[in-house]
Structures are given as structure tokens and as C-alpha cells.
Amino acid sequence: MTVHRMMTPPSRTLARCYDLTVLGEVGSTSDEAKRLAATGAPHGAVVWAKRQTGGRGRYGRQWDSPEGNLHVSLLLRPEANAATATQLSFVAATAVHKTLSAILSDALVQGEVSSKDVNITLKWPNDILLNGKKIGGILLESATHADGKLDWLVLGIGVNIAHFPDDCPFPATSLDAVGVKGISAKIVLSRLLHHFAVDYGIWEHDGFAPARAQWLHHAAYLGKEISSNLENEEISGVFEGLDADGALLLARKDGTTRRITSGEVFGK
Ligand code: BTN
């Protein structure tokens, strides 16, 4: 007799933990999620706000957060070392990719967008691009116990749905700008939470390799010449890939490979 063992789908685990707080307006959903973390809120707390008055991006940049866009932060408490925290921003980026790709495919079928306007790529480390312009970003913040294990991690995710800023240092866009009309932040959020729960379960079960492979499959500038702003220098080379921790590997003209763990990259 053959016994088929039914494994609980990994997606169940985090999806069952989601505890959603919905706010009309807040300074920053990530600050609110961090405040919840300090009061002992559990793994899976989610803070969603219609508007943010003090939305933050990387490098302390302002993140424009008008109503109609998605602003959400997830509080996670993985049993993992702090060093693995960055892996989860790649997991989140692949979940955003799946969410937006499906929405754009639907819009393509409906005739709302043209096939040249549906190219979602991922730019190292945490940017989501639509046709080469920034449509979303991820802000990762974490706290660690004395033994090096993560206490909490907050993934703040912003997606430009109805609006995009026209005064930022990089070109930006939104779903609305390419013709996707009438998709609400609520729909984008529910699809994103679903994809993230599935991908998080795979990360817990199989480690970083699946997310890393998916991320690379959609990576902007892979195999191309890029430059990167490090603290005291700007270096350039060919974007070769990601290492096992998510660091960017840059092949230099002198034959060496440089491992970059933080900073911004630019296509040439
Ligand atoms: C970036 O690309 O610089 C990251 C942007 C992250 C923005 C999101 S919106 C929800 C959450 N709350 C914040 O204040 N920031 C993140």
C-alpha cells in the first residue's frame, strides 16, 4: 500500500500568523511596526496605512506616500541569525515581482497596457523597476539579541500604484502611469501578502537558494556594466551575480571580483 503523506503547505504558516492593523494615516508604517515589536507583538504583525506623513526610504530619503499607493510593513521574528536578515528583503522583492507581474498580465489581457510596458525587474539590493523606472522599494530594519539571533525584522514595502514622485534622484513610475486603472492598494496588498507567505515558507524550508535564483532571473543589469557608490569610492565592473548571502558580485577589469554588501548601483 502506498501512503501519501500530506505536508502542510509552507504558505499556511505565515499566512495564519498575519495580524493586520489598518490605519488611515501614520508617520511611517515601519516606525509603527517597530513600536509594535517593542511591545512584544508577534511574528506576522502587518501595518498598512492609506497615507504616510513621514514615509522613509533607504539612506533616510523621504518616501512620498499619498493615498492610492501601497505602504505596508511586516514584522517578522524568524529563528535565524542576524546575517540572514537581508535574505528576506530578496524574498520580499520576488513577492512584489510576482504581485506586479500578475497585475500587469491581467491589464495586458484587458488591453489596458501595451506589451512593451509590462517589464518588471529587480535592482540590487531592494528596488523594483517597471520599464527601468522605480515603482517600489523595500526598507529592511532589524534588531538582534546578544547571541546574534534576530529579535525582530521589519520589512517596509512601498509600491507606487496611483502616483509617483517627479522630483526624486532616479526616474520613477506607477501602475497608473502605464495604464493600469482602478487597482486598489487593498488588492495589491492582499496579493502581496499571499505571495510573501508562500515565498517565506519556501525560504524557511529550503533556505535562500530558491529566492536567490528567482531574484537573479529578474535582475536588472545582470551581466552588464554597472557602477556602485561605496563609502569612499565609486567602482565599476560587470554585475556577475549574487553570493549566498545576497551580496553583489562585481567583476572588475583587473580580473578580480569585488563583493558589495551595501550601497547603490547604477547602470552605465
Ligand atoms: C527605498 O526604496 O528607499 C525603500 C522605500 C520603502 C518605503 C516603505 S513604504 C512602507 C514603509 N514605511 C516607510 O516609512 N518606509 C517603507
Q: What is the pLDDT of residue 9?
A: 45
Q: Please give the distance, rounded to the nearest whole angstrom, from the Cα atom of residue 75 to the centre of ligand 1.
A: 14
Kindly give, in sequence order, each residue whose CB lies less than 8 Å from that of residue 7, ignoring residues fewer than 6 positions away.
none
| CB atoms near residue 247 (< 10 Å) | 17
Cβ–ligand 1 distance for 125 under 6 Å, the answer no
Q: Please give the distance, rounded to the nearest whole angstrom, from the Cα atom of residue 251 to the centre of ligand 1.
A: 30
- Ligand 1 pocket check: which of 139, 141, 157 to mutate, most ligand atoms within 8 Å of Cβ? 139
Q: What is the pLDDT of residue 167?
A: 85
Three-state secondary-structure class, residue 217: helix
Cβ–ligand 1 distance for 139 under 6 Å, the answer yes
Q: What is the pLDDT of residue 169?
A: 82
Kindly give, in sequence order, each residue whose CB lies less than 8 Å from that of residue 218, ignoring residues fewer than 6 positions away.
94, 97, 120, 121, 122
**Rounded CA gap, 121 and 135, in Å?**
10
Q: What is the pLDDT of residue 16?
A: 86
Closest to 58 in 3D by CA, of 121, 119, 124: 124
Cβ–ligand 1 distance for 123 under 6 Å, the answer no
Enter the pTM of the model: 0.94
- Ligand 1 pocket check: which of 47, 58, 67, 71 to mutate, most ligand atoms within 8 Å of Cβ? 71
Cβ–ligand 1 distance for 63 under 6 Å, the answer yes
Chunked mean pLDDT (size 10), the chain, 268 residues: 43 80 98 98 97 96 97 96 93 98 96 95 97 97 96 98 92 97 96 96 95 98 93 90 94 95 88
Burial class (CB in 10 A: 0-12, 13-18, 19+), 154: buried
